[in-house]
Amino acid sequence: MGMHRDAHIVWDWNGTLFHDVDAVIGATNAAFAELGLESLTLERYRELYCVPVPRFYERLMGRLPTGTEWELMDATFHRYYTEHRVRCALTEGAAELLAGWTSAGRSQSILSMYGHEDLVPLVRGFGIEPHFLRVDGRTGPSGGGKAEHMVRHLGALTGVDPERTVVIGDAADDALAARHVGASAVLYTGGSHSRASLEAVGVPVVDTLAEAVEEAQRLAG
């Protein structure tokens, strides 16, 4: 892969490059319905969402789900999401921003907690895979954090310096994963968290991906 001495972006997928928030809310509410929980609005979801996901459910249920409940809700969520993701598209301007970053001679990659076997063909289907040094989705059980996955992801990228790497995502967990490896982070308000909850993390928060890329260039410069 060669040495990439310039700035590197690690992109999150769901809620960041992939504008799938409607499918996520629908899948979450389908999962909640299995246990007789009330549906969430987008605003309420963004206010309460956290990782690991069982803790998010605890905020709504007043207790952690049992193992059986978690398996039921997780299966329902992924079944609904798979059916409805087909109506989702890339976030506005994402394709152009990826092309521009590549044209400037900088490198980028994707690290997502979406299942790897589902993620790769989805990215490929949008025709953007050539922009990335690596596309990594989750392997193993769902519901956990991204930090250790980030360690493995950066470790597999030859010549990418964590100090010149910026993680762009829509969740507090993206910033925590960046901090875990010594990288910077920019958080985007178009996905899973409210602006207030993102600002509490202490990293730059932006409303568009164009702003995120500008901030990444500044941080990695």
Q: Which residues contact 44 (CB under 8 A, 6 or more apart)?
A: none
Share of the chain above pLDDT 90, in %: 87
Per-residue confidence (pLDDT) for residue 219, from 0 to 100: 95
Helices (H), the chain: 21-33, 42-48, 53-61, 67-84, 94-103, 116-125, 147-155, 172-181, 195-199, 209-220
| CA 164 remoteness from chain centre | 20
**Cα-Cα-Cα-Cα dihedral sign, residues 22, 28, 204, 147:** negative
What 3-state class would DSSP assign to 149? helix
What's the pTM value of the predicted model, to 2 decimals?
A: 0.92
Q: Which residue, 211, 171, 176, is CA-closest to 193?
A: 171
Q: Which residue, 58, 84, 85, is CA-closest to 70?
A: 58
| Residue 3 confidence class, pLDDT cut points 50, 70, 90 | very low
User: Residue 198 has what DSSP assignment?
Assistant: H
Is residue 193 within 8 Å of 201, Cβ to Cβ?
A: no
Share of the chain above pLDDT 70, in %: 98
What are 86-111's pLDDT values in tens digits? 999 999 999 999 999 999 999 999 99
Long-range CB pairs of 187-190, under 8 A, 24+ apart, other chains included: 188/15, 188/16, 188/212, 190/15, 190/16, 190/19, 190/21, 190/91
CA angle 19, 23, 27 (to 5 degrees): 145
Average pLDDT, the chain: 94
**Segment (H or E) for 201:** none
CA distance linking residue 142 with residue 12, whole number of Å: 16
CA distance linking residue 217 with residue 64, whole number of Å: 40
Crossing angle for the helix pair 53-61 and 67-84, to the nearest 10 degrees: 110
What are 51-97's pLDDT values in tens digits? 888 899 899 889 999 999 999 999 999 999 999 999 999 999 999 99
Instruction: Indicate whether 1 pLDDT > 90.
Output: no
Q: 165-169 and 184-188: which strand pairing?
A: parallel
